[in-house]
Amino acid sequence: MSAPEPVSPLARHLTAGRYGAPGDAPVYISERQCVLVQLFARKGRGDDVASAMQAGFDLQLPSPGNAASAGEITALWIQPDAWMLVAPRGSEGALAARIKAACGDAGSVVDQTHGRTVLHISGRRAAWVLAKLCRVDLHPSAFGPGRVAVTPVADLACVLHHSDAAPGFDLIVFSSYAVSFLESLTHAALETGYDVA
């Protein structure tokens, strides 16, 4: 029996269109449909997990505050000896099983696809909008592409990933408060105007 298809808590809240102030520098807000898997190294087994991921996925797990990618998988550092692995939809359940098989008893693996929501904000003023909601210095010299922070955004726990040079940011939050998070994000973007794809 396969896992049920995840249903986004934002399905009725992200309506395509242009909102807020008119202008030529809007930001773009969308939901990314991803597979999310948390990987925790057991006590004293961080090197074993890193070796297993390198051997099984050709993925070098990132150092604190960073992301690393191999193929379709991106690993985000979220705390000492713990990472959030992000992959495109289509591998629900299978990715967690593959990671568990690779790491064996050196790590614990939890599929978070149903429990987390990923929002993406991009555009020239994306960092400016996010700066209203968090205390991370988002200037490219301090938080450039590939950087990760686990920090409150709009007073809610968030994994913040500078995912591309557009600039674009992925915001991973618990699905249970995704609607509230989206409301804060879109409110902060009204001043620049925002497009929902």
Residue 7, pLDDT score: 78
DSSP state of 191: T
For residues 140-145, average pLDDT: 96
Task: Output the pLDDT for position 5.
Answer: 67
pLDDT digits (tens, 9 = 90+) for 97-113: 999 999 999 999 999 99
pLDDT confidence of residue 4: 64
pLDDT category of residue 2 using cuts at 50, 70 and 90: low
| pTM of the model as a whole | 0.94
Kindly state the percentage of the chain with pLDDT values over 70: 97
**Residue 29: what pLDDT?**
98
How many other CB atoms sit within 10 Å of the CB of residue 104?
A: 11
All structural domains of the chain with their residue ranges: 18-33+114-196, 34-111
| Percent of the chain with pLDDT strictly greater than 90 | 89
Third-level CATH fold of 34-111: Alpha-Beta Plaits (3.30.70)
Whether 1 has a pLDDT exceeding 60, the answer reads no
**Tokens 């794809």 label which residue?**
197
Give the tokens for residue 99.
């990671």
Q: Give the confidence band of 23 by pLDDT, cuts at 50, 70, 90.
A: confident
Homologous superfamily (CATH) for 18-33+114-196: Probable tRNA modification gtpase trme; domain 1 (3.30.1360.120)
- In angstroms, the CA 102 to CA 47 distance is 13
